[in-house]
Amino acid sequence: MQMDSWAARPAWRRWAAGARRTALIILTAAAGAVTAAGATAAAAADPPMPALPQPLALREAFELALRHNKEVQVADLTAAADRERVTQAHGDFDPRLFGEAAQGAADQPGPADDSDRLSHGLAAAGLRQRLTTGTTWEAASEWDYSDRDGAGSDGFPQHGTGARVTLRQDLLKGFGRDPNRAGIRVAQNTWRSSREGSRDTRIVTLLDVEAAYWGLFYAQADLGVRRKQLDRANRLVAVAESQVRVGQVAPIEVTRARSSAAAQAVAILDAQSRVTLLQHRLLRLLGILDPERMPDTVALADAPPGVVDGLTLAQCLEVAWQQRPDCIQAGLNLDSRETRERLARNQCLPSLELYGSLGVSGLDGSRSGSHDDLASGDYGDWEAGLLLEFPLGNRAARGAYRAARYERLRAAVQVQAIRELAVREVADALDELRTAERQIDTAAQSRALAAELLQAEERSFNLGRSDSLDVLNAQAALATSERDEVRARVSYATALANLHAVRGDFLQVKALPVEVAAASETAAGK
């Protein structure tokens, strides 16, 4: 059987086959594009892992945490939103442009069952504004016309123009800048309070980072101490074995030394596990959340700081009252409550509005004629008066004022409570710092004495005057004193950081800027 060739096929079959090939190519390309787009979207959805410097300095850890911590971002966005509400409060005093245009007609009955159609139109525009003194002004101009068809159309069309300036000022309720700017002042206080909330979030976050940093430092130092203790135990095994060979000591001395070395090997495994655990905790605080992307080892560049002299309770409290975010927030809240109380007291007054207007007008059978009359200024008018309004009983305003007064009293009590809390926290933090300072000196002396004791026991054991148990006890005492000295230094570093946190000057001492404050200062100070 002979097979059909491509040329022998009908034209419509050749066209269909070509179309199928073209469609297959297009679908293949589209699938590849979709796959590539999906990979790109997945890569974009997966945030890049923060670069981790090795060794890691404490300031670098701070910067990583601030860059990736979501609570800090939420606090900053809250402050940014409150900053825009200050602009919104200023917007109440923006001038407003208004305009109006209308046209209409009305059929009116006339004599002898005749009807008239009255057509009319209006166009007006102007500008009005409320000032921070409580004054409202308005400048407006208008043009109107009317025309009549049918009986009684004499004197039509008519075109009228006018321009008028109006001023209104309440002489009692809402008079002056203080009640009218109350909304701006409260919005500014709210924004500044949110900014302090952002600063407090930064302090809390970075205090956790520093505690984790020094916790890892201690765990790594503890691992190093245990490794040194294992080396000492292994050296003791070698010395004991040599002494057993010459018959200087009993074989039990070797057993004791080997038992101590084995125990230290187990302790090293536990210490390594703690180091890994604390490394992961620190990395999570820095924004590295995927366990598979965490580095195996985190080298630390900084050591605990030295002792800071000259810290007194009076000086620390003075700093706390000026720098603590909660103290500043309490003061801002009290100021807002006082502002609201003054506004509520002002709203209890009757409304006595002074108003006045001055205008010119023109009227003619043509538009140009009416404008000429307006420009001549021959047809002017003015009006002035007083409008008094006072609700009988005035219970709404008086109730609002009494509520505002109690809220102000509550805010004042909250200020005192927060100041007392600051005293307790600062005093406790300072006591902890001084205790840690004394522990550093004591631990250093203990470590030096333990080192001397170990040297003496090793010499005594080499001379056969003591057994391995004495040496092992001295080794354990030295390892304990070395850990105690590191622990004391880490406790001091943590206590110092906590003192600056409760004083509120943590960011200033660490030379870390509060970015939301710098970015928002101009907008809120309008």
DSSP secondary structure of 175-244: -SHHHHTHHHHHHHHHHHHHHHHHHHHHHHHHHHHHHHHHHHHHHHHHHHHHHHHHHHHHHHHHHHHHHH
What's the CA angle centered on 375, arms 369 and 380, to 5 degrees? 105
User: Who has greater pLDDT, 386 or 233?
Assistant: 386
Phi-psi region of 247 (alpha: psi -120 to 50; beta: other; left: phi over 0): left
Q: CB-based contacts of 71: which residues, under 8 Å, 6+ apart?
A: 201, 205
Whether 280 and 465 have beta carbons less than 8 Å apart is answered as no
Whether 67 and 50 have beta carbons less than 8 Å apart is answered as yes
Does the pLDDT of residue 206 top 60, yes or no?
A: yes
Helices 182-245 and 515-524, packing angle to 10 deg? 170
What is the SS3 assignment for 133? Answer: coil
Confidence of residue 520 (pLDDT cuts 50, 70, 90): very low
How large is the average pLDDT for residues 441-461?
88
Which residue type occupies 24?
L
Does the pLDDT of residue 363 top 90, yes or no?
A: no
CB-based burial of residue 225 (10 Å sphere; 0-12 exposed, 13-18 middle, 19+ buried)? buried
Which residue type occupies 433?
L
What are the CA-CA distances from residue 264 to residues 11, 225, 326, 475 (Å)?
Answer: 88, 10, 48, 11
Whether 136 and 130 have beta carbons less than 8 Å apart is answered as yes
DSSP 8-state code for residue 292: G
> pTM of the entire structure?
0.78
Q: Which of 93, 187, 134, 175 is CA-nearest to residue 342? A: 175
d(CA 197, CA 72): 10
How large is the average pLDDT for residues 468-483?
86
User: Who has greater pLDDT, 474 or 24?
Assistant: 474
Does the pLDDT of residue 183 top 90, yes or no?
A: yes
User: Who has greater pLDDT, 476 or 427?
Assistant: 427
What are the CA-CA distances from residue 417 to residues 494, 499, 505 (Å)?
Answer: 26, 19, 20
Does the pLDDT of residue 425 top 90, yes or no?
A: yes
- Please give the structure tokens belonging to residue 506: 């943590």
User: Who has greater pLDDT, 352 or 287?
Assistant: 352
d(CA 373, CA 159): 11
Average pLDDT, the chain: 84
For 329, the enclosing helix (H) or strand (E) is helix 325-346
- Please give the structure tokens belonging to residue 236: 């003791």
pLDDT at position 68: 86
d(CA 454, CA 457): 5
Q: Which residues pair with 138 in a beta bridge?
A: 128, 166
Chain-centre distance for alpha carbon 154: 73
Over pLDDT 70: what percentage of the chain?
84
